[in-house]
Structure 1
């Protein structure tokens, strides 16, 4: 099933244009929606999830007209928002059984089978008797995935799921998402470039409510072959370098010098070296070009 968004726009009462004429098609697999905080990612996710209505445009998922038939979409939707409510002092097993009841799984044996399955998928089975309120941040995020899997969703939306997780928890969470994202359409919204690089086979960069680039991580970096250059400079020289070159990023070295990455079609100067493109480069270029277009 394919998610098709056409001419979608949303402006809030305070005048902020959160979604600006978005057109995109998303198929089965892991899709990364990458953008800085405040780019409009959560607004787009909430609109797709039928939690708010756009001012104009259309959304379809398979044969479902999402904006006109919200209940049909919700039956096949799994949604993990950026923040969710405080959990009661119930075990993961008991709480999932309760959620399964709400989702229409009537017999106890069916619920037990389903709950065991989603706990195993999310690597929470060994802590199923523990209160969810006492889970770590990463465990709570994996529990969020477990509860959305109860209705075998065809469309899964996860909004900034790794924000605030330590490296080990983030790695475990991404592994869970990778496993559940093989047979469903999964939209993974994040401002962390590394998450998209590790997880997604397709991506879009969003800022100011607009899609700046729709591509794959592999194609995007291949486009920059021979166009990324590096040079080590003194920290005090950064301002003058920024005036002369299109600097994408700069990182400190141990000796307090800076390693700069520059986007240029040809070698900027004899003391620059060609560098292998990274997805971060793609991201920074798209944001810079988007700013110049929007200016």
Structure 2
């Protein structure tokens, strides 16, 4: 099972180029689409999910031409948008039966089996008689996964699913995604680097409608080994460092000093020490390079 996108572009009427010649090949497993808010992630997800048309490009799921066979794609698609609304005065179980009817599951036995499976996978069986309105944010997100599982989808898209969840709810939700991500294509669109680090075997970084990088998280981090340096300074010192070095991020220490991270092929200065690269560094390096390139063009 593969999803292929070729030269997919989308420009909105206000002139914003949301997608700029996107080329992607996504295979079965967990795929992370990482980028800041406004990068074009939701536009890309909606385009793949047939909710909007691109201006140009081709999209195929195996032999399904997505742009020409929308209904065929929807039969094997599970989509959890960033804002998922439900009929909150119904119990989770009754609501899932309702969604099963909408998805065309006619057999009563098959419907019962699929609803029970969806509740079990998302750890909602014990609260299946409770109104969804009374669910926590994390439980509502898990219910969103439950409804998309009803048609046994081959392609699953989840858009910013952990935004706003507390740590415990986020952990439970990510465990659900792990369980369903083995044999399906699961695209996780997020601005949270840790979600990708914990879940995904492949990833791409998107910003300004462009794919900045595509590789496995492991390979991406390995490529930065020996190139991330750190030093301790204050706010004024950070400003001076940014004038001379490629500062990619900074974070406060408990004493309010700043831990500054710099990307450099060689040791920038004797005050720097070599740091262990991580996926946050990968993310910030690519965003910084994109920002610098955009500034030069302007």
Asked if these proteins are the same fold (TM beyond 0.5), I'd say yes
Q: Tell me the CA shift for residue 244 of structure 1.
A: 1.4
Corresponding residue number in structure 2 for 1:228: 228
SS at 1:164 equivalent:
coil
Q: TM-score, normalised by structure 2?
A: 0.97
Question: What is the distance in 1 between the residues matched to 2:70 and 2:237?
Answer: 56
SS at 2:255 equivalent:
coil
Corresponding residue number in structure 2 for 1:122: 122
Q: Tell me the CA shift for residue 168 of structure 1.
A: 0.5
Question: What is the distance in 2 between the residues matched to 1:95 and 1:43?
Answer: 28
Corresponding residue number in structure 1 for 2:68: 68
Q: Tell me the CA shift for residue 113 of structure 1.
A: 1.6
Corresponding residue number in structure 1 for 2:196: 196
Mean Cα deviation higher: 74-83 or 245-254: 245-254
Question: What is the distance in 2 between the residues matched to 1:12 and 1:95?
Answer: 35
Corresponding residue number in structure 2 for 1:216: 216
Q: How does 1:40-189 map to 2 (within 5 A)?
A: 40-189=40-189
Corresponding residue number in structure 1 for 2:287: 287
Q: Tell me the CA shift for residue 93 of structure 1.
A: 0.5
Question: What is the distance in 2 between the residues matched to 1:152 and 1:232?
Answer: 51
Question: What is the distance in 2 between the residues matched to 1:292 and 1:25?
Answer: 27
- Structure 1: which 4+ aligned runs deviate by more than 3 Å? none
Kindly indicate whether residue 25 of structure 2 is the aligned counterpart of residue 25 of structure 1.
Answer: yes
Task: After superposition, give the CA deviation of every residue in 1:219-265 in whole Å (9 maximum; x if it has no partner).
Answer: 00000111001111123311111111111111111111111111010
Question: What is the distance in 2 between the residues matched to 1:293 and 1:264?
Answer: 17
- How many residues were matched structurally? 295
Corresponding residue number in structure 2 for 1:242: 242
Q: Tell me the CA shift for residue 86 of structure 1.
A: 4.0
Question: What is the distance in 1 between the residues matched to 2:229 and 2:190?
Answer: 27
Given that residues 235 and 256 in structure 1 are in contact (C-alpha distance below 8 angstroms), is that contact kept between their aligned partners in structure 2? no
Question: What is the distance in 2 between the residues matched to 1:289 and 1:111?
Answer: 50
SS at 1:24 equivalent:
strand
Task: After superposition, give the CA deviation of every residue in 1:128-149 in whole Å (9 maximum; x if it has no partner).
Answer: 0000111111101000000000
Mean Cα deviation higher: 263-272 or 101-110: 101-110
Question: What is the distance in 1 between the residues matched to 2:45 and 2:127?
Answer: 30
Q: Tell me the CA shift for residue 198 of structure 1.
A: 0.4
Question: What is the distance in 2 between the residues matched to 1:155 and 1:264?
Answer: 39
Which runs of no fewer than 5 residues in structure 2 stay unpaired? none
Q: Tell me the CA shift for residue 108 of structure 1.
A: 2.5
Q: Tell me the CA shift for residue 152 of structure 1.
A: 0.3
Q: Tell me the CA shift for residue 101 of structure 1.
A: 1.6
Given that residues 251 and 260 in structure 1 are in contact (C-alpha distance below 8 angstroms), is that contact kept between their aligned partners in structure 2? yes
Given that residues 28 and 186 in structure 1 are in contact (C-alpha distance below 8 angstroms), is that contact kept between their aligned partners in structure 2? yes
Question: What is the distance in 2 between the residues matched to 1:86 and 1:185?
Answer: 25
